[in-house]
Amino acid sequence: MPYATGQARSNSGVYLQSRYEVQILDSFGLEGVENECGGLYKQKRADVNMCFPPLSWQTYDIAFVAPKFNAEGEKIKNAFITVLLNGVPVHQDYSIIAKTGGGKQEGPELFPIKLQDHTNPVRFRNIWIVDLSNQPDPVYCTPCQSLACDP
């Protein structure tokens, strides 16, 4: 939207378990605070603002590990998240300390992934959800390392 400014250019989010929001927002050229593109809403800014210019497709790769709760429903381990924005790590194995913004309260109940709608112009395509719960721990390579890193 060439005539729009700020959040009106696009504002949305991906809610994991309906609790933890990864921000979708046109923040190209901005400071990159926690409520901007790739941020964990009201909790942590992206390590680097990798937002492409307006009207460009943004890609998000999100790996999420749900928090763990004991039999009494008390949290015994935080959720963890890794986010790549446009192919660049902006959160790596970050421990999410609590729900973000308007997310549901933390608890042992499982909730769905949601795409947020603030009535701003946002389009989604090529959404893939893969259950990684039975996979070995991933090996991360930073951009400056060889593509053939050892685990």
Could you tell me the domains of the chain? Answer: 6-115 (2.60.120.560)
Predicted local distance difference test score (pLDDT) of residue 130: 86
Task: Report which of 4, 26, 2, 1 is spatially closest to residue 13, judged by C-alpha positions.
Answer: 26
Q: What is the per-residue pLDDT across 89-131, written as a single tens digit (0 to 9) for each?
A: 999 999 999 999 889 999 999 999 999 988 887 889 999 888 8
Query: In whole angstroms, how large is the CA radius of gyration of the chain?
Result: 16
